[in-house]
Amino acid sequence: MRPVLCRVGAIAAVLLVGGILTGVAAAKEARLPNLAKKEIVIKRGMSEEAAKCVECHARKTPGIIESWKKGKMAHAGITCYDCHVVDKSSPMASQCEGTRGTDTYISPMVSSKTCARCHPAEVDQFLKSGHARLAGAPVIEKEKFQKLMYYHEGAAFMGNKIGSPSNRAPRASGCQMCHGTKVELGPDNKPIKETWPGGVGTRYPDGSIGNCTVCHTRHQFSVAEARKPEACASCHLGPDHPDMEIYLESKHGQLYLTQGDEWKWDSAPDAWQPGDYTAPTCATCHMSGIGDLNTTHNVNERLKWDLVHPRSEIRSGERGDGEKGAVLMRKVCTNCHGPTQIDAQVKTLDNVVALYNQYYDKATVMLNDLKAKGLLKKDPWRDGFQELYYFLWHHTGRRARQGAAMNGPDYAHWHGFFQMQQVIKDMEDLYNYRIKNNKIESPSHVMSTAPD
Ligand code: HEC
Ligand code: HEC
Ligand code: HEC
Ligand code: HEC
Ligand code: HEC
Ligand code: HEC
Ligand code: HEC
Ligand code: HEC
């Protein structure tokens, strides 16, 4: 729950800022700014310096001001100055046209650390979630994935120089826009090598982690937006984790698509409850307060299984506490379902996980055997068996598991188990051939497009 005092403060600020916003808008309409009038109006609600940022940017970057004006924070008097001004000693400090020659330093980069000044609880929860350090790790820390990005996708194997702009392109246009990036700076303290902007787990030069705008798009920073499934869909989609597609084909998604226009999306934080909506969205199940549960920015909190990695286990350690997660997720469902249906759904997922793990274990036994006998190619992307192994867990297997978790029958079956069954049979045939002939078939009969 937010402290009542904060709310009252915000309301008082709205009264003041109402005038300011009209002042800025009026100046824009007139095109030739009426400086005398505008200054008087603006000085009432924010510092003179902050007013200058708004005033000039209303002319230079009107799109930013227009979206900022629509947000609750603008109405509470939170301006460019609060989020973009940094200490001169910050590694990210630079100056823009409007601050050059003054003592004011700014940065276009704004991490969760800035938000933590006013929203410490949300940032604290976020930092404990998979959306923070863990999200950036594959792209930034793991050699295996860097090899995938730079060597294979970046065509180093065809002679493209590692680190060249075109070699970096797959990372910059793909992984880092979802997972995040490690921002690198040039001599003017501005980001270089397309390492900014980045996705949810972006790591900033001052050591801070996290880009809150992935769900609360700048510069409106809306709660209503984050409650809609589209806020998650920029990342949670596609052949390897089609959460958005699964949701839209589920009964819950059907209700969202047919009735969502009539739902109330902008209830106060923690006060968004059944009645405002008739079926849950991603946020309802994974984040929002509902019934006894408070809102959390730790998306791992309500999860039991790990449904993303090669073998599914109950979550533990840095991935969360699966036993506790199961209890919390159940509390979400009890707002709208009786125990019989919830039991059926929970059991189905447990059974799906058990079956999936059987497939995965069987494939792994074959893989290890081929490895021991020297019957795997060095480059897994030219080896049909290893390609299929990857598709088994990373594409078809995730679709089966996540489809079952969130009631998407087409993904659980046709894009999931049905394909796993085909993939493993092809793997068996390749395995048998290699063992019998003591050699790798050539060329690979697997074309690199995944089963879909
Ligand atoms: C509540 C905090 C907040 C406020 C208020 C705010 N910004 Fe931002 N701004 C951000 C965040 C967060 C980003 C994204 C930074 C990142 O990805 O590292 C951003 C990015 C930017 C960028 C760089 C991205 C781009 O589109 O070029 C500019 C320019 C910018 N803001 C200008 C402004 C101006 C002008 C104002 C005043 C109207 C303002 N901001 C108010 C938080 C804020
Ligand atoms: C007199 C006009 C003017 C004023 C005042 C002004 N700016 Fe700017 N600002 C600009 C222009 C023009 C640009 C784009 C060119 C540049 O970066 O110099 C810019 C760029 C920016 C950027 C993006 C920098 C980047 O690298 O993309 C941010 C962030 C920003 N300003 C924030 C602020 C803040 C915060 C204030 C108030 C402390 C402020 N500005 C005051 C005109 C102004
Ligand atoms: C200087 C303090 C301050 C900073 C810094 C700040 N906020 Fe806020 N924020 C507020 C206040 C005050 C409100 C409450 C406004 C209201 O409810 O009227 C708020 C409300 C919000 C809301 C709820 C909006 C809604 O639609 O109800 C979101 C989301 C939010 N902030 C995100 C952020 C993010 C993300 C950052 C960092 C990029 C940030 N804030 C930085 C003070 C701040
Ligand atoms: C900018 C991209 C992006 C957006 C938007 C996004 N996510 Fe994620 N999410 C990720 C990434 C990347 C991971 C994988 C984290 C990891 O590596 O462990 C993830 C992981 C998760 C996980 C599993 C956590 C774990 O550690 O295994 C859940 C649950 C989740 N997200 C829910 C959501 C929900 C709900 C929304 C919308 C309200 C959302 N996400 C929006 C990128 C995003
Ligand atoms: C469209 C957005 C998107 C792109 C592009 C993307 N990912 Fe992901 N990735 C996600 C999401 C979302 C998850 C979490 C899915 C889940 O929890 O089921 C994820 C999960 C992962 C995981 C498992 C979680 C973990 O941290 O161990 C790894 C590893 C990974 N991605 C690596 C990459 C790499 C490397 C690239 C680029 C070569 C990439 N991803 C491209 C969105 C994306
Ligand atoms: C994965 C998506 C996602 C990300 C990332 C995210 N938020 Fe939120 N945020 C939400 C959702 C959903 C709500 C609405 C919860 C509800 O229904 O009340 C929310 C609500 C809020 C609120 C309103 C008060 C509250 O706690 O409900 C604030 C403030 C806020 N977020 C700040 C932040 C900050 C700061 C960050 C970055 C650390 C951030 N958010 C990152 C999804 C996200
Ligand atoms: C009816 C509630 C509900 C809705 C709606 C929902 N989910 Fe889920 N989600 C679940 C459950 C239950 C699980 C599996 C939890 C467990 O046992 O681990 C899950 C699992 C996940 C996972 C896999 C985490 C992992 O283990 O790798 C991701 C990612 C995810 N959901 C994201 C989303 C996104 C994005 C949306 C919206 C497009 C969404 N969810 C909608 C309930 C829901
Ligand atoms: C806000 C209310 C709400 C919440 C919360 C909710 N559901 Fe539902 N759910 C519904 C409604 C309404 C339907 C449509 C029932 C129908 O088919 O007539 C539905 C349908 C379903 C279905 C499809 C089968 C059926 O009854 O048609 C499953 C499975 C399901 N929910 C499981 C869950 C699980 C598991 C959770 C918790 C993780 C959950 N739901 C949370 C409202 C909710």
Helix, strand, coil shares, percent, the chain, to 5: 55, 5, 40
Work out the average pLDDT over 251-263: 98
pLDDT > 90? residue 29: no
How far apart (Å, rounded) are the C-alpha atoms in residues 308 and 306? 6
Q: 184 with 198: CB under 8 angstroms?
A: no
By CB atoms closer than 10 A (0-12, 13-18, 19+), residue 381 is: middle
**Ligand 3 atom nearest to CA at 226:** 29
Q: Report the alpha-carbon distance of residue 294 to residue 289 in Å, rounded.
A: 4
pLDDT tens per residue across span 423-438: 999 999 999 999 999 9
- Ligand 4 close to Cβ of residue 282 (< 6 A): yes
State yes or no: pLDDT of 36 exceeds 50: no
Q: Return the amino acid letter for 113.
A: K
Cα of 239 vs centre of ligand 5, distance in Å, is 11
pLDDT bin (cut points 50, 70, 90) of residue 81 is: very high
The answer to whether the CB of 173 falls within 8 A of the CB of 238 is no
Sorted by where each begins, the domain ranges of the chain are 4-85, 123-214, 300-452
Closest CA relative to residue 203, chosen from 82, 113, 142: 113
More confident residue, 216 or 40: 216
Cα 122 to ligand 6 centre (Å): 7
CA-closest residue to ligand 8 atom 33: 333
Is 393 a residue whose pLDDT tops 50?
A: yes
3's CB contacts (< 8 A; 6+ apart) are none
Q: Residue 394: is its pLDDT beyond 50? A: yes
Separation of CA 206 and ligand 4 centre (Å): 23
Residues 413 and 390: their CA atoms lie apart, in Å, by: 19
Q: Tell me the angle at which helices 322-333 and 339-372 cross, rounded to the nearest 10 degrees.
A: 140
Axis crossing angle, helix 339-372 with helix 418-437, rounded to the nearest 10? 20
Any ligand 7 atom below 6 A from CB of 232: yes
CA of 419 from ligand 4 middle (Å) equals 25
Task: Locate 158 and state its tokens.
Answer: 């065809």
Residue whose entry in the numeric block shows the structure tokens 């984040």: 287
